Every structure is written in structure tokens, then in C-alpha cells.
């Protein structure tokens, strides 16, 4: 069975441009058309997916996780 689609609308395609490995979690930077999206994932999942700098990747986050700040027109 393969994944055909994922429910969240917030899906941004890009390329992995940096990986900072830690013992338990690692920080991954994905360059998308809007700039860098930063993700913190378990190092074990990084290894399981064999994620490397240069890989094509999708950054996904749920709408319920997004906060909105109002900006002043200064």
C-alpha cells in the first residue's frame, strides 16, 4: 500500500539544503520557493528515511499548528 495523498493543505516542495544532526533530534532545512522551512525531527527517523542534503522533500504541517500575527503597516 503506498501513500496517494496526505490531508494537510500545507505541503511545500523543496530541497534539503542543511542537516544539523543531534543525538535525539536533528534540524533539517528545506529550501522552498518561499524560503527556508526549518523542521526538527527525530534523528532515528532521519536515518530510517536516509535523508541527505540535496534530496527532494516535502515539508508538511497542519493548519491547526499555524499561529497568525497581525502586522502594522509601518
- Which residues would be at the binding site for a second copy (CB under 8 A)? 1-13, 20-28, 30, 32-42, 44-46, 48-49, 51, 55-74
Closest distance between a second copy and the C-beta of residue 69, in Å?
A: 4
Closest distance between a second copy and the C-beta of residue 40, in Å?
A: 4
Closest distance between a second copy and the C-beta of residue 9, in Å?
A: 5
Cβ-contact 59, 12 below 8 angstroms: yes
Amino acid at each position: 500500500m503506498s501513500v496517494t495523498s496526505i490531508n494537510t493543505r500545507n505541503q511545500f516542495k523543496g530541497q534539503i539544503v542543511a542537516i544539523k544532526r543531534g543525538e535525539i533530534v536533528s534540524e533539517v532545512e528545506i529550501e522552498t520557493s518561499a524560503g527556508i522551512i526549518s523542521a526538527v525531527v527525530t534523528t532515528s527517523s532521519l536515518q530510517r528515511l536516509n535523508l541527505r542534503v540535496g534530496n527532494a522533500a516535502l515539508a508538511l504541517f497542519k493548519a491547526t499548528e499555524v499561529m497568525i500575527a497581525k502586522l502594522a503597516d509601518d
